[in-house]
Amino acid sequence: MWRIAQTVLIFLGVPLVAGILTRTIGEKARGRDWYETKLLPRLGPFALYGLLYTIVILFALQGHTITSKPVDVIRIALPLLAYFAVMWSGAFLLGRAIGLPYERTATLAFTAAGNNFELAIAVAIGVFGVASGEALAGVVGPLIEVPVLVGLVYVALRARKRFYPTGPPRETANPEATAKEGP
């Protein structure tokens, strides 16, 4: 259990502390506008580079297993497909049921369906090793997640036509002002 906690602390704690320090120091030194318009756009891609590097290394180490054991990949993929379908559909229907506009409903559905595979990969490697079956599951996850979420974009667009045929309702910052304006 300590090994899992240690891995989570490293992979979540270090970036969190780095982000807090970067924001605090950056805003004090140059101001919020500089921090948000100049520094963040320069630093932003490094998180993606780190994730891509990790996935490339994992694919390099797990590629043979993925291609030589397709049944294991399918056994990992099927529950993930079910998870995405249930979470996305449930969240979309919930958003619709409580009267959210389409944009918020779709955002809710994608947030519910999205996984934190980055953390799962980190924990699997930290606890079980890079060549483990658990690391394989962490590698297969993004292989399934990305195309499924892209496919769900098309589902969301079709759901918009079906559940929101007249377009999204108009939102205002002050609903009372809209009520006073009248028809």
The pLDDT of residue 180: 47
Interior/surface letters 116-146, b for 16+ CB within 10 angstroms, e for the rest: ebbebbbbbbbebebeeeebbbbbbbbbbbe
Residue 14: which pLDDT band, with cuts at 50, 70 and 90? confident
Cβ proximity of 113 and 84 under 8 Å = yes
For residues 53-59, give the mean pLDDT.
Answer: 76
Helix H or strand E segment including 59: helix 40-68
Model confidence, pTM: 0.61
Between helix 40-68 and helix 117-128 the angle, nearest 10°, is 60
Computed on alpha carbons and rounded to an integer, the radius of gyration of the chain in Å comes to 21
d(CA 125, CA 122): 5
pLDDT score recorded for residue 46: 85
Region class of 133: left (phi > 0), else alpha (psi between -120 and 50), else beta: alpha
Q: Is the pLDDT confidence value at 52 over 90?
A: no
State residue 119's pLDDT score. 72
pLDDT of residue 93 exceeding 80, the answer is yes
SS3 content of the chain, % helix, strand, coil (to 5): 85, 0, 15
What per-residue confidence (pLDDT) applies to 171? 52
Provide the terminal-to-terminal Cα distance of the chain, rounded to the nearest Å.
Answer: 61
- Separation CA 99–CA 103 (nearest Å): 11
Give the pLDDT confidence score for residue 167 in this predicted structure. Answer: 57
Query: What are the structural domain ranges in the chain?
Result: 2-164
pLDDT grade for 178, boundaries at 50, 70 and 90: very low
